[in-house]
Amino acid sequence: MKKATFTAIFILLFIQLQAQTTWKLVSSLNGDIDMPNGGNQQTCSVVADFDNDGHPDIWYAEMRLNGGNPTSQNKILFGDGKGNFPREMIISVGVDNHESKIADLDGDGDFDILGKGYDQLGGNLNIWLQNGTGKRKK
C-alpha cells in the first residue's frame, strides 16, 4: 500500500513538473494598452481596484522631467478581469509624477493616489482624491 501511494504521488509530481506555465503578453509594445504619449517617460504603475468592480485596475504615471515632457499624463486603465483594459481615465496632464502610492487618504472607503514628483529643481507632492466610482472628486 505504501509503495502504491508513493508511486501515485511520484506520478502526480512528474505530471505537475511536465505541465508548462504559459504567459500572455499584454503590452503597449504590441498595441494592447494605449500608453500616454506613446509611453514617454514612464515612471510608475500601481495595481488597485479603483472602481470597486472586483477587477484590478492600473494607475499609470509619467514624469515631466524638468518641463521636458509637458504633456505627461497620469491615468487609470480599468481592467475587465480578463487581462484587458478597455476603459481609461486621464487623471491629469502636465503634472510631474515619479512615484505613486495608493491608499484611502480621506477615509471614505475608496482608493486615492499620492504622487511624488521628480524635478532637479525640487519635486512636488500631489494627492488625487476620488469619489468611489473611479472618478475624481471635484
- H/E element, 87: strand 87-93
Position 48 scores a pLDDT of 93
- Give the mean pLDDT of the chain: 78
Contacts 24+ apart (CB under 8 A), 89-94: 89/134, 89/135, 90/36, 91/128, 91/136, 92/126, 92/128, 94/64, 94/70
Position with higher pLDDT, 120 vs 107: 107
pLDDT in tens, 37-85: 555 667 788 999 999 999 999 998 887 666 677 788 888 999 999 988 8
Band the pLDDT of 138: cuts 50, 70, 90: very low
Position 135 scores a pLDDT of 57
Position 67 scores a pLDDT of 65
Grid cell digits, residue 44: 510608475
Give residue 135's Cα distance to chain centre. Answer: 16
Is the pLDDT confidence value at 32 over 80?
Answer: no
